[in-house]
Amino acid sequence: MQGTPFVEFEVQKSISGTKDSKGRNCIANTLPKLRWTKTVGRVVRRAGFSPYWIVRSTSPPAKKVTIVMYHSVHPNPGRAAVSPEAFRRQITFIKKNYAIRRLSEIDNILLNEELSDRTVVITFDDGHLDFMEFAFPVLKELGVPCMIFVPTRHIAEINHSQETMMNGSHFRYLAHQELIGFGSHTVDHVNLRQAPRREIERQTIESKMQLEDLVQYPVKDFAYPYGAYSLEIKEILQAAGYERAVSTRWGTLNSYQERMALRRIFFEETDQDSDLRAKIEGDYDWFALLEAAGSILEMFRMIIRGAANLQRQT
């Protein structure tokens, strides 16, 4: 059965990569919701209340593991980019206040019943060239590890039109840096929920093989393009040899049971230290409730459309 869109209520439209009717990346469509959440969150925190317990009470046994998602670090910040100054300030804040771990270490963290302290993981999606100039020097200086998720077709030496993406030489250099790990982001950065099973298998297996050939070590981590996944897609990933996968569902609580759909958060250019701490600590996790509501509405729309199609066929 091809990935049923409502196999799991947790299947969400992407926070960072939803598309509009013209197929454009629509981070801007999500940011107003998050900023509204931020405003309300500040009010309720001043009143001594945190919505953190609402989300926590609806999650399986989970650990305080916050996975931060970046895309680009660029002097001209935008919907998916923060400036080098903001990036340095954010990473410095995290380094000063939290334990930062590699994504490859997360299984042991999630299975450690005695661990109660907050852990932070840094990830980058897509492999933009500006990582080399603006992000990596900061990570190296501060000794902060991170995972880069790469759509292999976008590697510059494979697709010569992608001049803003890192090339094979960059990946081979970074592969020898102890702080940097690599994961797959498919071959073509496709929405896997819209692909037939054979194409899902090709996108996940071929990208894994290409990336392993480039970096010369096993690739076990995956990021869903546009945050799109289903139970079937997760099973295909595990069969292909992936051990973990990150989504774009908002959240700061993660469990071993959900290691194939780990939650992440993202920062904005204007976030101050108080905003960073609130996001990392889960004060904005009620944004996940808005996501869930949207997912359920989408499920009902698909049921209604399916029923209408059946009625027309009969």
> All domains of the chain, ordered by start, with CATH?
27-306 (3.20.20.370)
| Residue 220 contacts residue 242 (beta carbons within 8 Å) | yes
pLDDT of residue 58: 46
Residue 177, phi then psi, degrees to nearest 5: -95, 125
pLDDT of residue 291: 64
C-alpha 192/C-alpha 203 separation (Å) is: 8
pLDDT of residue 308: 72
pLDDT of residue 20: 40
* DSSP code at position 220: -
Q: Is the pLDDT of residue 300 over 90?
A: no
Q: Is the pLDDT of residue 249 over 70?
A: yes
pLDDT of residue 4: 31
Amino acid at 164: T
State what percent of residues in the chain have pLDDT above 90: 64
Q: Is the pLDDT of residue 139 over 70?
A: yes
Q: For the chain, what is the mean pLDDT?
A: 82
Distance of CA 137 to the CA centre of its chain: 22
pLDDT in tens, 66-107: 999 999 999 999 888 999 999 999 999 999 999 999 999 999
Amino acid at 266: F
**Region 266-286: what's the mean pLDDT?**
94
Positive or negative, the Cα torsion across 65, 294, 20, 260?
positive
pTM over 0.75: yes
pLDDT of residue 21: 36
* Helix intervals (H) in the chain: 27-46, 52-57, 84-97, 106-111, 130, 136-142, 168-175, 197-215, 231-240, 273-281, 287-313
Q: Is the pLDDT of residue 28 over 60?
A: no
